[in-house]
Chains A and B, each alone.
Chain A
Amino acid sequence: MNIIYFLIGCSVLMALLFLGAFFWAQRSGQNDDLYTPSMRILLEDELKDDKK
């Protein structure tokens, strides 16, 4: 049953990683504007003429 110590350690570490990722996203302003990106994704990229 000692494996539980290891498993709990792993799960807490994983959860901490996710929490850290969320903090990073929040600090870098990724959640500041949650609406505009949903519109931006619908816009076509410019067609490049230099394909010819």
Chain B
Amino acid sequence: MCSYYSYNSHPGATRARIDKRFDYLSEPSILSELLDYTDDRISIITLYIPHIHCSSCLWLLEQLNKFNPAIHYSRVDFLKKQLIVRFDNRQYTLQQLVELLYDIGYEPLISLQDVIKKQNTAEKGNLVQRIAVAGFCFGNVMLLSFPEYFGLSVYEQTFKHFFGYINILFSLPVVFYSGQGYFISAWNNLKAGVLNIDFPLALGIAVLFVRTVIENLTHTGAGFADTLCGLVFFLLVGKFVQQKTYHHISFERDYRSFFPVAVQVLDNGIEKPLPLAKLVMGQRIVIRHNEIIPADAILLKGQALIDFSFVTGESVPVNRTLGEIIYAGGRQTGEAIELEVVKPVSQSYLTQLWNNEAFTRKQDNRMKTFNETVSKYFTVVLLIIAVASLLAWLPFNYRTGIDAFTAVLIVACPCALALSTPFTMAAALGIFDRNRFYLKNTAVVEQLARVNTIVMDKTGTITNGASKRIVLGCELTDLQQQIIYTACRNSIHPLSRMISRYFGEMPALDVTEYREIAGKGIDATIAGHKVLIGSGGLIFGYFMDTTKMTRVHLMIDGVYLGYFGFDQEYREGMENIGLLATDYDLYLLSGDQDHERNELVRFFHDDAKMYFGRTPQQKLDIVKDLQRGGHKVLMMGDGLNDSGALKQSDLGIAVTDNVNNFSPGSDAILDGQSFNKLPAFLRFSKDAVKIIHLSFLISLTYNLVGLSYAVTGRLSPLVAAILMPLSTVTIISFTTLATHFAAKKRKLI
């Protein structure tokens, strides 16, 4: 099989392409935005291809130059699901490339907001280099410090000075390159009037360095070069651990990463591609099968069957009639339709949500982390102790006073404190990750522990988007079944399609008369029988849906037979969620009508806490109101219509059945399969915060031990050199083990 393409570069028949879906890739203005690099000979582009999933994909995509020699080079980044292609732009165009990829089954996802591409941060690489430098210096300084600790004989004193000078040399890059970030951050925070943990750290680093230099130059001591290098090294490692990145997941998506780049516009009967940004009211657009409607528009021509799953999570396509307004975000299935744009893209029903201030507000300062709160007091107390010991010694001996002052700053440098949060959170993130719960960053764990209100969307979040249960509320003979099947088979209404799927394959009967009444049902004559299938309004002349369950009634030859009931299937573990109501305020926030109110009340307990029929904007406002009432809101949603509420809430979780698919911008992404673990996740996040508190106590104990040495002014470099790594190792092992244990207790591993 592997040599399939080695016999001929284009075996098999190429799938004929009739649509013009990639025509927009020949527009120069669009091209310039998509290409990474271009000159008069070659172009380079990075394409995001969601279908990459196995080594065969890798093999095929890296052989692209066999299809066309104008492609010089193609390289796959498997985890990011990216393909980098360099091609000769005189012989080959991007459109041809994308069409080639489409033909071999790897359609790239091209969107306006290519977030995955932007996610390649240079920052992490920079941090790795800083760690490398610090580690390199740390190792060398340790070696050179050993002779001092083991004692040097009198005639070896020249070595001591030599080692001291080299240590100073090694400390220079550690302080001014690796540790630079701490000084900058401490300074910026001071200017902003905030005392964060970086201030005592920067102070500690500075004091260590100055004392090392002075002691070595004046030959009064060996200095603390090893403690200094170790401190910076461990701190940076802690920072590194904290920066977990998911290559294939994006938390920053909005409608732009989901909408097309361009749309086909009808201009005097001629179709041409137009970039989405230039789309104005009144223009006529053509939407083909599987294309997304980019702006609110009126249906002018064709049979519209719109799949709103991205918007609402509802997977059953909706039928729309001519002249109706179709909201942006729906995906057309079936034939091509023509629409007239009634609102610009950014002002549409759905997209106007992004104009809300919730999206422009800065994200970081939503909740103060434990670390931030504590380090403020820590810094103040530390400075008081340092100054007090200086003042206490000053009347007797100013040298001891200065020694004590600097020693306090060195020993109390909150290295262990600074490490406890990153290591606990990184371990917790790993646990969540294994359970298919992906968190944007480590701060989210603390937010998760602090919420007291849970707001849930209905469709797609607590219901399983894919399946609606269908129940037949009566007995039918074979003939009756066949008649109903035949009637429903001819209709494209979602409910009819579900009914015909329910019966499976059956021989169809003769249809002599067929009429579909929009919004009501089917009126047909099949094999001589008069059939009525539809709502209560059609059959009885009035609605009698008392159970609030969607029903399709059946009547053949004037005899009422019964009905089909349609029932939502809830996600597994919904009962567990209901139990959360004792500890959390549980709210339901749905865009749908309240058909299922009675069923849902058993989970949510309180009728007043269930909101139905809310627009995306209203969802956002309800969350805002709750927050004003002092609630810390956890919002769970799945579609674009929840985006506003997700963003406004203190913690937004997007629920999705496939993490590579589209999910709205959020703080965390939860795989639908792990939905039943939500209570365990909440409890585990509380455990993680408790672990941080405990490790803070441990590091405080070490600080107190060190301080008892420091205030006397007799801190030997050896004590500092032992205390610092020892406390670090204790904290790292404690947090890792404790997190592991907590996860086991909550049955997450």
Complex CA distance for A22 and B136, rounded to whole angstroms: 11
Contacts A12-B140, A19-B136 given; does A36 touch B125 at CB 8 Å: no
Encoded as 1 (CB less than 8 Å from any A CB) or 0, chain B from 43 to 64 comes to 0000000000001001100100
CB neighbours (8 Å) of A15 from chain B are: 136, 139-140
Q: Are A36 and B58 in contact (CB under 8 A)?
A: yes
Q: Are B136 and A36 in contact (CB under 8 A)?
A: no
Contact of B162 among A5, A18, A19, A46 (CB under 8 A): A5
CB neighbours (8 Å) of B156 from chain A are: 1
Q: Are B78 and A36 in contact (CB under 8 A)?
A: yes
Interface of B is mostly: helix
Encoded as 1 (CB less than 8 Å from any A CB) or 0, chain B from 128 to 142 comes to 110011001001100
Residue B2, interface by CB 8 Å: yes
Q: Are B162 and A33 in contact (CB under 8 A)?
A: no
CB neighbours (8 Å) of B159 from chain A are: 1, 4
Minimum distance in angstroms from B52 CB to a CB of chain A: 10
Contact of B78 among A4, A19, A35, A44 (CB under 8 A): A35
Complex CA distance for A32 and B125, rounded to whole angstroms: 8
Q: Are B132 and A22 in contact (CB under 8 A)?
A: yes
Which residues 103-158 in B have Cβ within 8 Å of A in the complex?
Answer: 120, 125, 128-129, 132-133, 136, 139-140, 143-144, 156
Residue A40, interface by CB 8 Å: yes
Minimum distance in angstroms from B86 CB to a CB of chain A: 15
Number of interface residues of A (CB under 8 A): 25
CB neighbours (8 Å) of B3 from chain A are: 46-47
CB neighbours (8 Å) of A47 from chain B are: 3, 6
Residue B79, interface by CB 8 Å: yes
Complex CA distance for A39 and B77, rounded to whole angstroms: 11
Encoded as 1 (CB less than 8 Å from any B CB) or 0, chain A from 31 to 50 comes to 11101100110111011010
Q: Are B79 and A35 in contact (CB under 8 A)?
A: yes
Q: Are A39 and B139 in contact (CB under 8 A)?
A: no
CB neighbours (8 Å) of A39 from chain B are: 55, 58, 78
CB neighbours (8 Å) of B78 from chain A are: 33, 35-36, 39
Q: Are B132 and A19 in contact (CB under 8 A)?
A: yes
CB neighbours (8 Å) of B162 from chain A are: 5
Q: Are A42 and B55 in contact (CB under 8 A)?
A: yes
Complex CA distance for A44 and B59, rounded to whole angstroms: 9
Residue B184, interface by CB 8 Å: no
Complex: chain A residue closest to B5, CB-CB: A46
Q: Are A23 and B129 in contact (CB under 8 A)?
A: yes
Encoded as 1 (CB less than 8 Å from any A CB) or 0, chain B from 155 to 184 comes to 010010010001000000000000000000
Complex: chain A residue closest to B162, CB-CB: A5
Contacts A8-B166, A33-B79, A36-B77 given; does A43 touch B128 at CB 8 Å: no
Complex CA distance for A15 and B156, rounded to whole angstroms: 25
Contact of A43 among B55, B80, B140 (CB under 8 A): B55
CB neighbours (8 Å) of A33 from chain B are: 77-80
Complex CA distance for A4 and B159, rounded to whole angstroms: 9
Complex: chain A residue closest to B3, CB-CB: A47
CB neighbours (8 Å) of A31 from chain B are: 125, 128
Minimum distance in angstroms from A50 CB to a CB of chain B: 12
Complex CA distance for A40 and B61, rounded to whole angstroms: 12
Residue B76, interface by CB 8 Å: yes
CB neighbours (8 Å) of B140 from chain A are: 11-12, 15
Complex CA distance for A22 and B131, rounded to whole angstroms: 11
Complex CA distance for A39 and B133, rounded to whole angstroms: 31
Complex CA distance for A23 and B133, rounded to whole angstroms: 9
Q: Are A36 and B6 in contact (CB under 8 A)?
A: no
Q: Are B76 and A36 in contact (CB under 8 A)?
A: yes
Contacts A5-B162, A36-B79 given; does A43 touch B58 at CB 8 Å: yes
Minimum distance in angstroms from B204 CB to a CB of chain A: 25
Which residues 1-18 in A have Cβ within 8 Å of B in the complex?
Answer: 1, 4-5, 8, 11-12, 15, 18
Contacts A19-B133, A26-B128, A36-B78 given; does A46 touch B55 at CB 8 Å: no
Minimum distance in angstroms from A25 CB to a CB of chain B: 10
Complex: chain B residue closest to A40, CB-CB: B58
CB neighbours (8 Å) of A36 from chain B are: 58, 76-79
Contacts A1-B156, A39-B55 given; does A46 touch B6 at CB 8 Å: yes
Minimum distance in angstroms from A16 CB to a CB of chain B: 8
CB neighbours (8 Å) of B144 from chain A are: 8
CB neighbours (8 Å) of B77 from chain A are: 32-33, 36
CB neighbours (8 Å) of A12 from chain B are: 140, 166
CB neighbours (8 Å) of B80 from chain A are: 33
Complex CA distance for A18 and B59, rounded to whole angstroms: 34
Minimum distance in angstroms from B247 CB to a CB of chain A: 8
Complex CA distance for A18 and B143, rounded to whole angstroms: 17
Complex: chain B residue closest to A33, CB-CB: B77
Complex CA distance for A20 and B140, rounded to whole angstroms: 15
Complex: chain B residue closest to A9, CB-CB: B166
Complex CA distance for A22 and B3, rounded to whole angstroms: 38
CB neighbours (8 Å) of A46 from chain B are: 3, 6
Minimum distance in angstroms from A27 CB to a CB of chain B: 8
Complex CA distance for A12 and B120, rounded to whole angstroms: 34
Q: Are B6 and A23 in contact (CB under 8 A)?
A: no
CB neighbours (8 Å) of A40 from chain B are: 58, 62
Which residues 2-17 in B have Cβ within 8 Å of A in the complex?
Answer: 2-3, 6
Q: Are B58 and A23 in contact (CB under 8 A)?
A: no
Contacts A46-B6, A47-B6 given; does A23 touch B166 at CB 8 Å: no
Contact of B129 among A26, A32, A43 (CB under 8 A): A26
Minimum distance in angstroms from B580 CB to a CB of chain A: 37
Q: Are B58 and A26 in contact (CB under 8 A)?
A: no
Q: What residues make up the interface of A, taking CB atoms closer than 8 Å to B?
A: 1, 4-5, 8, 11-12, 15, 18-19, 22-23, 26, 31-33, 35-36, 39-40, 42-44, 46-47, 49
Excluding A31-B125, A43-B55, A44-B2, 11 further A-B contacts by CB distance (< 8 Å) are: A1-B156, A11-B143, A15-B140, A18-B136, A19-B132, A33-B77, A35-B79, A39-B78, A40-B58, A42-B55, A47-B3
Q: List 9 A-B contacts (CB under 8 A).
A: A12-B140, A19-B132, A19-B136, A33-B77, A36-B76, A40-B58, A40-B62, A42-B55, A47-B6
List the 5 shortest-distance A-B pairs measured between CB atoms, nearest first.
Answer: A36-B78, A39-B55, A33-B77, A19-B136, A35-B79
